[in-house]
């Protein structure tokens, strides 16, 4: 693994332009995602406040319900439906941003590893379809957690974080497999086998977290949040490259 670690930094040093472009796409993705989240959050809270104010203003006099109650409740019902659409619209925008920018980031990372300049439009479209698989799994998981929230409160935070960590671990491995093979279903199926049989793939995850923790702690002392964010994006590209090298090594004939 140390040889692959050295190779990852060597490849990046030989492809500084691609490294920066990849980090730029990650930056644009995060900025647009934050802007979108802020926009939809404001829309959501506007409707939320409207419902709160409407319910507070429902008048009950002498035991009789005010005449405009049903019109008010109808307005509340329409607003709740609108809030649901706001949430769905945000997830749709987030999915489109992910598919557009992250597909390019993974493609550039793959080209760095493969020493290639290939830009495949079909890959970008297939990446969106592959992302849809994990989006549906994420949506289903959120739905299950939401419907069992009262039961989950009895578990510790550590136990509740295990499914999230597994989701991230196998999910990232699957995207590395897909980037190398461009085979959606095969990458999805094989990521679990590869991740279980090769726990050493946890190594780049641990290095990435340790480096970010160290840099984040150091830079927070001097308040350089912008520099901190830029360094994070640079190491995010390194993480992809290193993981792709390891996956390519351990995958064997699975691709």
The per-residue pLDDT for 57 is: 66
Q: H or E segment at 70? A: helix 69-97
Residues 123 and 114: their CA atoms lie apart, in Å, by 15
Maximum distance among all Cα pairs of the chain, rounded to whole angstroms:
82
The secondary structure of 155-170 as a DSSP string is S-HHHHHHHHHHHHHH
The secondary structure of 182-225 as a DSSP string is --HHHHHHHHHHHHHH-GGGHHHHHHHHHHHHHHHHHHHHHT-H
Q: What is the pLDDT of residues 66-124, one digit of tens each?
A: 556 666 666 777 888 899 999 999 999 999 999 999 999 999 999 999 988 888 788 88
- Contact (CB, 8 A) for 219 and 205: no
**Can you count the helices (H) and strands (E) in the chain?**
10, 2
Is the confidence at residue 138, as pLDDT, over 80? yes
pLDDT above 70 coverage of the chain, percent: 82
Residues 92 and 17: their CA atoms lie apart, in Å, by 31
The DSSP output letter for 100 is I
Residues 86 and 205: their CA atoms lie apart, in Å, by 34
Residues 182 and 111: their CA atoms lie apart, in Å, by 13
Residues 149 and 141: their CA atoms lie apart, in Å, by 12
The per-residue pLDDT for 61 is: 43
Residues 235 and 63: their CA atoms lie apart, in Å, by 65
Q: H or E segment at 105? A: helix 103-114
Residues 73 and 71: their CA atoms lie apart, in Å, by 6
The per-residue pLDDT for 146 is: 73
Residues 37 and 91: their CA atoms lie apart, in Å, by 9
pLDDT above 90 coverage of the chain, percent: 44
């Amino acid at each position: 693994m140390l040889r692959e670690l050295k190779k990852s930094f060597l490849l990046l040093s030989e492809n500084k332009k691609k490294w920066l472009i990849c980090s730029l796409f990650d930056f644009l993705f995060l900025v647009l995602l934050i802007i979108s989240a802020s926009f939809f959050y404001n829309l959501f809270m506007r409707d939320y406040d409207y419902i709160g104010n409407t319910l507070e203003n429902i008048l009950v006099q002498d035991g009789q319900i005010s005449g405009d109650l049903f019109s008010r409740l109808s307005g509340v019902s329409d607003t709740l439906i609108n809030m649901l659409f706001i949430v769905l619209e945000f997830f749709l925008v987030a999915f489109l941003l992910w598919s557009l920018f992250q597909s390019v980031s993974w493609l550039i990372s793959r080209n760095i590893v493969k020493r290639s300049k290939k830009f495949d439009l079909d890959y970008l479209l297939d990446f969106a379809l592959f992302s849809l698989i994990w989006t549906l799994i994420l949506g289903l998981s959120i739905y299950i957690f939401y419907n069992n929230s009262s039961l989950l409160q009895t578990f510790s935070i550590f136990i509740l974080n295990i499914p999230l960590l597994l989701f991230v671990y196998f999910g990232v491995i699957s995207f590395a497999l897909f980037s190398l093979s461009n085979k959606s279903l095969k990458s999805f199926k094989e990521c679990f086998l590869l991740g279980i049989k090769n726990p050493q793939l946890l190594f780049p995850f641990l290095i990435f977290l340790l480096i970010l923790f160290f840099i984040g702690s150091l830079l927070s002392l001097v308040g350089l949040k912008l520099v901190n964010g830029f360094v994070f994006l640079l190491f995010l590209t390194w993480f992809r490259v290193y993981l792709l090298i390891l996956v390519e090594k351990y995958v064997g004939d699975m691709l």
